[in-house]
Amino acid sequence: MSNFTTRLKAKIEEKKSFVCVGLDPRLNRIPEQIKEEIVAEYGKTKEAVGKIFLEFNQGIIDAVADYAAAVKPQIAFYEQYGHQGIKAYEETIEYAKKKDLLVIGDAKRNDIGSTAKAYADGHLGEVDFWEEAEVGYGADALTVNGYLGSDGIDPFVEACNQQGKGIFVLVRTSNPSAGELQDLEADNKRIYEVMAELVNDWGEDIKDEDGFSAVGAVIGATYPEEAEELREIMGNAYFLVPGYGAQGAGAKEVVPSFKDGGYGAIVNSARGIIFAYQREPWKDRFSADEYQEAAQAAVEYMREDINTALNEAGKLPW
Amino acid sequence: MSNFTTRLKAKIEEKKSFVCVGLDPRLNRIPEQIKEEIVAEYGKTKEAVGKIFLEFNQGIIDAVADYAAAVKPQIAFYEQYGHQGIKAYEETIEYAKKKDLLVIGDAKRNDIGSTAKAYADGHLGEVDFWEEAEVGYGADALTVNGYLGSDGIDPFVEACNQQGKGIFVLVRTSNPSAGELQDLEADNKRIYEVMAELVNDWGEDIKDEDGFSAVGAVIGATYPEEAEELREIMGNAYFLVPGYGAQGAGAKEVVPSFKDGGYGAIVNSARGIIFAYQREPWKDRFSADEYQEAAQAAVEYMREDINTALNEAGKLPW
């Protein structure tokens, strides 16, 4: 199987889009018509929640598939509903892949040794299963947390190597208190810079034809100066950039995460797209029945917004 | 509901045990007789894996319930098998609670804002569920990773407060490369010391009658000197200490994690107990059919080993 970054670039080129759509379903924000129909059949149960999430996600995936390169289901929103939620997570991944989208599982998993291997096998690889291994969730990439150091990351890198998958390591997050640890300075380097160098080390032996490594980084879009600096440090890493739209960053803020020749980053928006029907500027134009049309309008706008900003910066690769 | 630490101390006193049994099932290490029976009915499917894990865990729980204060299922081993694995995780928690054990979910979850809240609600609290909230996994405590800072932890603390639950924050882990980040020194403090001070802050307003806070710390047992230092810094935190047995630490190494009056720590062993039938010194005495007897012998030994070491150090509280 080809490298994850090779497949990601091809998908970006095909869709002419650097957009990743965050599939973060919330029961109380999903249109009533979807809920009513499923509750009528399954009652107000966790099974119903799983089916509601799946149907909503399928609607979103259908609406955005031509305008986005990838989707990023945030597993927390599924996991909170137990195994019925996880079933919806599995089926969402399956559906997105069928619709020609890459899937980045947002799980921020972390552990050591055989436990990290269990996560890596499950999310990216194949799990121990009698005589033959069995594919797990089948995501194309996974977000991970590197606080435990190399032996927490190695099993994920191994899965990337064997399966043509990718990981995105939390380096600099966009939340207000991210700096409590990430900004501390040790030996003239901030902790997030140390993490960035570890990202380089971890990806050293697993690069594509353009030099992009399978070990990427999560870089919050709300700190463009830091993104620029981190782009310097991690010349070979793909950046997963959350924070566009709902978290306050616009297209300008995400430009520094891209390399000069374009590529090098993928930008995520969740609420701003999937719940566009409830949000400015779309809510006056679309009803709840039109949540798909609203999502499509929002993702199309985001695609153009980013492409325009990249073009102005001389970074649009086509 | 009473505080998590109040319930934990009561359980320790009742069982006269500081032992936590790690429920980390591995398909290829579970006795054949359990697998054969279930495969005959369900085939070699993920559903069968879930049922095998649950039956094995129930056998272990029955065997150790009188000798351990808590169990700690490591969710990675379940999660890798998809929703059928998570179903086994849910049912394992349910069974352990019925058998009078506390349950610490080992998930090392981390995220920010509404996503962290989804994890907190799901694992420790109640999830959004139409008119009424619905209980999630129902664990008594959860391990978490603090790399994202306070706004990644606050939602968990909120769940602790509302539900009488606890969290254990990764501070100093026991893996060889833990120090790559955790040992870096910023402003004359190592990163794990900074994390320890954050643990104090996060637990400040949520203490029991003895001053123990609901925000505890994971402290690898393989570094007793550091445990002693961290015991000084985090006077109010309960320590979850992995690494006894299989990871090379003995009872002596865990003593510094306890406070002078006893209490203050709970010590985990997984493989050394649940797969005792395959391991020294038990494997010559017990067959695979006797995996429960082997687990019971191992947990009884561990309980006595720790109690003896605490007694010698003048720290046994009864």
Please, how many CA atoms are within 13 Å of residue A190, restricted to the half-sphere of its CB?
Answer: 15
- Give yes or no for residue A222 having a pLDDT over 80: no
Chain B residues touching A113 at Cβ < 8 A: 175
The answer to whether residues B224 and B247 touch, using CB atoms and an 8 Å cutoff, is no
State the nearest Cα–Cα gap between A123 and chain B, in angstroms. 7
| Subunit contact B111:A108, Cβ cutoff 8 A | yes
Q: Do A145 and B110 touch (CB under 8 A)?
A: yes
Mean pLDDT of B30-45: 97
**Does B295 fall in a domain?**
yes
- Looking at beta carbons, which residues of chain B come within 8 Å of A148? 170, 173, 175, 177-178
Chain A nearest CA to B185, separation (Å): 5
Question: Scanning every residue of chain B, which has its alpha carbon at the shortest distance from the alpha carbon of A120?
Answer: B80
**Helix runs in A125-219, H state only:** 150-163, 179-182, 191-203
B100 in any annotated domain? yes
Q: Does A308 fall in a domain?
A: yes
Chain B residue numbers touching A186 (CB-CB < 8 A): 184-186, 191
Is B108 known to be catalytic? yes
Report d(CA A11, CA A17) in Å as an integer: 8
The beta-carbon neighbor of B82 closest among A77, A112, A136 is: A136
Chain B: give the shortest CA distance to residue A127, in Å: 7
Confidence of residue B247 (pLDDT cuts 50, 70, 90): low
Record: contact B136-A82, CB cut-off 8 A: yes
Greater model confidence, A261 or A299: A299
Residue of B109, B113, B179 with shortest CB distance to A175: B113
Q: Among all residues of chain B, which has the CA nearest to that of A186?
A: B186
Residue A306 has pLDDT above 90, yes or no: yes
What is the structure's pLDDT at B174?
82
Stated as kind and residue range, the H or E segment containing A316 is none
Kindly state whether residue B317 falls inside one of the protein's structural domains: no
The distance of A118 to chain B (nearest Cα, Å) reads: 6
Torsion from C-alpha of B7, B12, B15, B18, nearest 10 degrees: 140
Report the pLDDT value the prediction gives residue B317, as an integer from 0 to 100: 95
pLDDT value at position B284?
97
Residue A245 lies in a domain: yes
Cβ distance B259 to B317 under 8 Å? Answer: no
pLDDT (0 to 100) of residue A224: 85
Q: Assign residue A264 a region: left if phi > 0, alpha if psi is -120 to 50, beta otherwise?
A: left
Q: Band of the pLDDT at B22, cuts 50, 70, 90?
A: very high
Mean pLDDT on A278-302: 97
Grade residue A247 by pLDDT with cuts at 50, 70 and 90: low
| Phi, psi at B242, each rounded to 5° | -85, 170
pLDDT band at B249 (very low <50, low <70, confident <90, very high): confident
Q: Is it the case that residue A109 has pLDDT exceeding 90? A: yes
Query: A135 by DSSP, 3-state: which?
Result: strand
Span A232-253, mean pLDDT? 89
**CB neighbour list of residue B146: distance below 8 Å, 6 or more residues apart:** A147, A181, B110, B152, B153, B169, B170, B195, B198, B199
CATH code for the domain in which residue A227 is found: 3.20.20.70
Q: Tell me the mean pLDDT in the region B102-117.
A: 96
Residue B306 has pLDDT above 70, yes or no: yes
Residue in B with minimal Cα distance to A191: B181
A43/B80 Cα distance (integer angstroms): 29
User: What's the domain count of chain A?
Assistant: 1
Q: How far is CA B258 from CA A246, B21, B149, B220, B274, in A?
A: 45, 18, 26, 13, 25
Residue A86 to residue B83, Cβ atoms within 8 A: yes
When scoring B148, B169, B240 by the number of chain A Cβ atoms within 10 A, the one with the most, hence best to mutate, is B148
Residue of A108, A189, A207, A283 with catalytic role: A108
Report the mean per-residue pLDDT for chain A: 96
**B149 closest CB neighbour out of A84, A175, A194:** A175
What does the pLDDT look like over A50-104, one tens digit per residue? 999 999 999 999 999 999 999 999 999 999 999 999 999 999 999 999 999 999 9
CA distance B202 to chain A (A): 13
Task: Choose the mutation target among A80, A94, A275 for the interface with B, i.e. most B CBs under 10 Å.
Answer: A80
The answer to whether position A317 is within a domain reads: no
State the pLDDT confidence band at B245, using cuts at 50, 70 and 90.
confident
- Residue A246: per-residue pLDDT: 64
Chain A residue numbers touching B177 (CB-CB < 8 A): 148-152
How far, rounded to the nearest angstrom, does the alpha carbon of residue B52 sit from its chain's CA centroid?
21
Q: Which residue has the higher pLDDT, B31 or A1?
A: B31
Mean local confidence (pLDDT), A291-311: 98
A 10 A CB-CB count for A123 gives: 28
pLDDT value of residue A248: 67
A91 lies in some domain: yes
Residue B1 pLDDT > 80: no
Q: What is the mean pLDDT of residues B219-225?
A: 84
* Contact (CB<8Å) A178/B82: no
* CA pair distance A303, B2, nearest whole angstrom: 51
Considering the candidates B46, B108, B189, B283, report the single residue annotated as catalytic. Answer: B108
Q: CB–CB of A122 and B79 under 8 A?
A: yes
The DSSP code sequence of A36-105 is HHHHHHH-SSHHHHHHHHHHHHHHHHHHHTTT-SEEEEBHHHHHTTHHHHHHHHHHHHHHHHHTT-EEEE
| Residue B225 predicted with pLDDT over 90 | no
Range of the domain at B100: 4-312
In angstroms, rounded to a whole number, what is the distance separating the alpha carbons of residues A231 and B18? 48
pLDDT score of B220: 87
Is residue A10 over pLDDT 70?
yes
**For an interface test with A, which of B74, B79, B172 has the most A Cβ atoms less than 10 Å from its Cβ?**
B79
More confident residue, B176 or B1: B176
Q: For B261-304, how does the pLDDT look when each residue is reduced to its tens digit (9 = 90+)?
A: 999 999 999 999 999 999 999 999 999 999 999 999 999 999 99
Tokens of A115: 């436990």
A151–B177 C-beta distance less than 8 A? yes
What is the rounded average pLDDT of the residues B93-101? 98
pLDDT for the residue A285? 97
For A138-189, how does the pLDDT look when each residue is reduced to its tens digit (9 = 90+)?
999 999 999 999 999 999 999 999 999 999 999 998 888 989 999 999 989 9
Q: Report if residue A10 sits inside a domain.
A: yes
Calpha distance A134→A166 (Å, rounded): 19
What percent of chain B lies above the pLDDT cut of 70? 99
Place A225 in a pLDDT band, splitting at 50, 70 and 90.
confident
CB contact under 8 A, B115 and A77: yes
